Each structure stands twice: as C-alpha cells, then as structure tokens.
C-alpha cells in the first residue's frame, strides 16, 4: 500500500523560455523553493502546468526533469497528470511515469467526447491505472474545465474497490456533500485531496489532510499558518487568513485568470515565462498595476521565499 499524500502539494507552472519552449533548467530551483516552504509534493502538467497545451514528448521531458531533481527525496511526492482527450496517450504517459519511478499519476475525464456514466468513467480509470500498477493512481475531478459532472461518490462505487492502486481524488469542485461522502467510502480508504485554495478552511472540518493548489507555489506560508490556526482552535485567525487568500486569489481573475499565477511567480524570484496560447498574458502596464495591488495585500509577509 502506497503512502497517502499529506500537507500542501503545489501544482507547479511549467517554466517556458521566450520562444515558448520548455525551460527545464530552472526545475531544480523550483523544487528547492517548494521544499524551503514546506510543500510536500508537486502535481505536474496539470491545469496550472499547461499540460493540455503540451506535446506528449514535452510531458515526458517534464516528468524526467522533476524526477531527476527529486529522486533522492522520498518525502517529496511527484504526481503527473496523464489525462486528456486520448486514452492511448494517457496510457502511454502512465507507463512512462511508472518507468521513471515517481510517486503517482492522475487522470481526468476526457473533455471533448465525455464519459456519460460513472461506469464508463470507471473503465477509463481502470485502463489507465492498470498501465502503471505499481504507481499511485488519482482521479482529478475538475468539472468546471472538463464538463464531466459525474459525482465522485458514484465513481468510487462504480470501481467497487477493484483498482488496487486507486489511492484517491484531487477534488477541485464545491460539492462538499459529495466530497465528504467519498471520505467515508470503504472506511476512509481514499486519499481525498482538496483542490480549491479559496475555500481550504471549509474543507478542514471534514478531515482533509492534503490539498493541491496553484497558489501554494508562491504563498505556501499563508496556508500553513491557516492550517495551524485551525488546528489550534483559533478560528478567528484561520478565517482572517482564508480571507487574505481570497483577496489574493481575486487578483487572478482581475488580471486575466490563470496566467496571473506566473506574474506572482516573478514576485517570488522564479520567472516561469509566459503561458502558451490560447491563454492571454498580462501586458507590462498591467503588471505594474498588479504589483501595486499585490503589495497592498502585504504579500511580503506571507509569500514563499
């Protein structure tokens, strides 16, 4: 039985050079930044990591870059998102991940031809997980992007515990009833990973032990303090810190969405370049205004360093 993930797992941005190619030379520094800030793992090639905008070959290069810098650190867990629109590609990536020896893989529902039922989604999971039987398998539930709103409780019931390496779910949705129900399937067998940074606090009373998010790349201390305050019973402080996170996250939407995260990374001295099309990037003028708003949040007091 593989170990369950705990703590904060970052969803790293994929570093890019000016020409849009991968900048893998900075991966070691990126890993060191996460370690210094007590992040326990990296969920690579996900939404934040632009996995859907990368070629198969680039994903494998990214996989090996993270594997190379983390191979001597068994406490740091790397998970590769292998899902997309092509099942054969997902299986190929799963096989590559097992060969590399990373901790885990994740799979998300195909988002063009979508699975219509939980049983179909379960069969997809079975085939991908079966391609890497010694590697932890997670399903990535993000219906706002995939359009697949099948309840995760239904998925777990459809698998019936038959996928030995099915460890859990990265849950990026707001259905707390479904999330809690999943936590109680088979006496808590599944590692439920919270995926909404803006309401992490709401997930903690349900027993959440691990979370995956993009803002942990550059503001991990804020969330560690939030968790510590909650565990100490200081709900007033925990609520204030969650609001601070919300205020920070609002800037993502104000300045263009997901690409704003790479602007935040520049402010923690980790230049990851720009996002690929079709995502739009911030103009230099907008970046200056963005920096002023970030400073007004007292970002220096809680940013990753």
Cβ neighbours around 114 below 10 Å, total = 16
DSSP state of 173: S
Considering the candidates 103, 138, 139, 140, report the single residue annotated as catalytic. 140
Count other C-beta atoms under 10 Å from residue 189's C-beta: 16
Q: Which residues pair with 141 in a beta bridge?
A: 171
Per the CB < 8 A criterion, the answer to whether 108 and 83 are in contact is yes
Does residue 194 contact residue 245 with C-beta atoms inside 8 Å? no
* 144's tokens: 């706002």
149 in active site = no
Residue of 30, 153, 170, 262 marked active site:
170
- Residue 191 CA to residue 167 CA, distance in Å, equals 6
* SS3 state at 166: strand
- SS3 letters for 220-269? HHHHHHHHHHHHCCCHHHHHHHHHHHHHHHHHHHHCCCCCHHHHHHHCCC
Q: Please give the Cα distance from 142 to 145 (Å, whole number).
A: 6
Active site residue 59: no
CB 13 within 8 Å of CB 62? no
Q: Measure the CA–CA gap between 174 and 200, rounded to whole angstroms.
A: 11
Contact between 138 and 105 (Cβ < 8 Å): yes
3-state helix, strand, coil in the chain (%, to 5): 50, 15, 40
Residues designated as active site: 140, 170
């Amino acid at each position: 039985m593989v170990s369950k993930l705990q703590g904060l797992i970052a969803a790293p941005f994929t570093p890019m050079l000016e020409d849009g190619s991968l900048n893998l030379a900075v991966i070691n520094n990126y890993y060191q930044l996460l370690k210094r800030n007590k992040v326990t793992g990296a969920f690579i090639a996900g939404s934040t990591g632009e996995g859907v905008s990368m070629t198969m070959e680039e994903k494998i290069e990214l996989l090996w870059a993270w594997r190379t810098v983390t191979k001597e650190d068994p406490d740091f867990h790397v998970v590769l998102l292998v899902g997309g629109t092509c099942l054969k590609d997902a299986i190929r990536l799963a096989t590559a991940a097992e060969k590399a020896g990373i901790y885990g893989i994740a799979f998300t529902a195909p988002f063009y031809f979508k699975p219509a039922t939980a049983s179909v989604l379960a069969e997809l999971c079975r085939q991908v997980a079966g391609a890497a039987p010694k590697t932890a398998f997670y399903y990535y539930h993000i219906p706002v992007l995939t359009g697949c709103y099948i309840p995760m409780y239904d998925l777990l019931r459809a698998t019936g515990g038959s996928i030995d390496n099915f460890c859990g779910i990265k849950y990026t949705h707001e259905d707390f009833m479904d999330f809690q129900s999943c936590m109680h399937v088979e006496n808590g067998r599944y590692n439920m990973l919270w995926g909404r940074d803006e309401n992490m606090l709401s997930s903690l009373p349900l027993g959440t032990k691990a979370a995956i998010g993009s803002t942990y790349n550059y503001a991990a201390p804020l969330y560690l303090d939030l968790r510590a305050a909650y565990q100490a019973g200081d709900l007033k402080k925990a609520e204030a810190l969650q609001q601070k996170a919300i205020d920070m996250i609002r800037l993502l939407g104000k300045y263009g969405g997901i690409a704003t995260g790479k602007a935040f990374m520049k402010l923690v001295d980790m230049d990851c370049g720009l996002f690929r099309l079709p995502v739009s990037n911030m103009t230099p003028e907008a970046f200056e205004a963005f920096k002023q708003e970030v400073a007004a949040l007292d970002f220096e007091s809680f940013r990753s360093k």
